């Protein structure tokens, strides 16, 4: 059993409170009346296990959780091939570079591209 608890009766939303897409997704989820557990990644530090578990639930590698086009990434880092542990540490120390919002419900997980993607969950 993983560290991230999920339920079919509740949506868990991992988001960056400074992101426009995340704010829109959060507002959309609330307007649809979903029972919601909000996790602002800027305020709640995710563990390495949680980051690895999120990647696994999304069927991607941890490196794919990193938005390498984000200004916070491009201004501090060059494109590299790091180990999984290095990518985890990078996200933990710079949570704004993590791709988000991520929505979990039961055994379903999606990386939101547009706020209405939440309907897919």
Q: Is residue 106 part of a domain?
A: yes
Residue 121 in any domain: the answer is: no
Whether residue 3 is contained in a domain is answered as no
Low-confidence ranges of the chain (pLDDT < 70): 1
What pLDDT is recorded for position 75? 85
Q: How many domains does the chain have?
A: 1
Residue 49 sits in which domain range? Answer: 11-113
**Token pair in block for residue 94:** 């710079």
The reported pLDDT for the residue numbered 1 is 47
How far, CA to CA in Å, does 49 sit from each of 46, 57, 69, 75, 87?
Answer: 8, 12, 24, 27, 12
Residue 4 lies in a domain: no
What's residue 80's pLDDT? 75
* 95 lies in some domain: yes
120, part of any domain? no
CATH assignment of the domain containing 19: 3.40.30.10
Over the stretch 1-25, which tens digit does the pLDDT of each residue have? 478 888 888 999 999 999 999 999 9
Does some domain include residue 108? yes
pTM here is: 0.92
Q: Look at residue 119 and tell me if it is in a domain.
A: no
3-state secondary structure of 83: coil
Tell me the pLDDT of the chain averaged across its residues: 92
């Amino acid at each position: 059993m993983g560290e991230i608890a999920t339920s079919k009766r509740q949506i868990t939303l991992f988001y960056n409170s400074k992101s426009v897409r995340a704010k829109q997704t959060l507002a959309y989820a609330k307007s649809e009346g979903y029972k919601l557990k909000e996790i602002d990644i800027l305020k709640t530090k995710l563990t390495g296990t949680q980051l690895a578990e999120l990647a696994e639930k999304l069927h991607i590698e941890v490196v794919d959780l990193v938005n390498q086009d984000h200004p916070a990434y491009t201004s501090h880092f060059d494109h590299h091939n790091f180990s999984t542990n290095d990518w985890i540490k990078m996200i933990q120390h710079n949570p704004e570079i993590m791709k988000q919002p991520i929505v979990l419900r039961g055994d379903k997980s999606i990386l939101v591209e547009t706020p209405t993607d939440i309907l897919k969950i």
